[in-house]
Amino acid sequence: MAELEKEDVEVKEEKKENASEKRSPAERTAEKEELKVQLDTAYQALGQKFYKACGVSNGKRPAEVPRASLFNDQIAEIGKIKSKYDAIVSEELAEKGLKACPECENEVVLKSLYCNMCGFKFPVKTEDKPKPAAKPKCKFCGAELEPGSAFCAECGKKQV
Ligand SMILES: [Zn+2]
Ligand SMILES: [Zn+2]
């Protein structure tokens, strides 16, 4: 019986390790739930540490707000969990042809360049826009030229 349970756990763990980019909707929901719990735990740890650092546990009032650097580990942990969570959310949205604005959490269509609620400019992914072939260079000063330039924008010399 105990053997069986152990095996079960191992299988689950393996599944998690192998989780590829593509998760099924059910897997994503489960993973989100798990991350929410992790996030709550991480927030709690941060809160407890803050409380202790404030010296409130001694019945004293905090002299000053503890330095933020005291909580680097907790903050890093929260950031890690959040970015995992966000990755799942954006996967889900992408399937619906949407993406979320990082500023206001508004959902916009995937190809939007700007958020229609707050005007946030989405970074252009390099893989979406393959870099054009190397630009021609000025024969005189070596500056990059726009293709088809008759004159160099840097030194003004005629190219043809
Ligand atoms: Zn926005
Ligand atoms: Zn030039």
Q: How far is 31 from 95, CA to CA, in rounded Å?
A: 17
Distance from Cα 11 to the centre of ligand 2, integer Å: 64
Interior/surface letters 32-54, b for 16+ CB within 10 angstroms, e for the rest: eeebeebbeebeeebeeebeeeb
**pLDDT recorded at residue 14:** 46
- 111 CA → ligand 1 middle, Å: 14
| Segment 18-59, tens digit of pLDDT | 444 678 999 999 999 999 999 999 999 999 998 888 876 556
pLDDT number for residue 8: 52
Q: How confident is the model at residue 80 (pLDDT cuts 50, 70, 90)?
A: very high
CA of 104 to the centre of ligand 1 (A): 4
Neighbouring residues of 99: CB distance < 8 A, sequence distance ≥ 6? 90, 93, 107, 108, 109, 110, 112, 122
Inter-residue contact 110 to 101 (CB < 8 Å):
no
Ligand 1 centre and the CA of 119: distance in Å?
A: 6
Assessment of whether the complete model's pTM goes beyond 0.75: no
Cα-only R_g, the chain: 26
Which ligand lies nearest the alpha carbon of 102?
A: 1
CA of 76 to the centre of ligand 2 (A): 48
Flag whether pLDDT at 17 surpasses 70.
no
114: region left, alpha or beta (phi > 0 left; psi from -120 to 50 alpha): beta
What are 102-148's pLDDT values in tens digits?
A: 899 999 999 999 999 999 999 986 655 556 677 889 989 999 998 88
Q: State the pLDDT confidence band at 66, using cuts at 50, 70 and 90.
A: confident
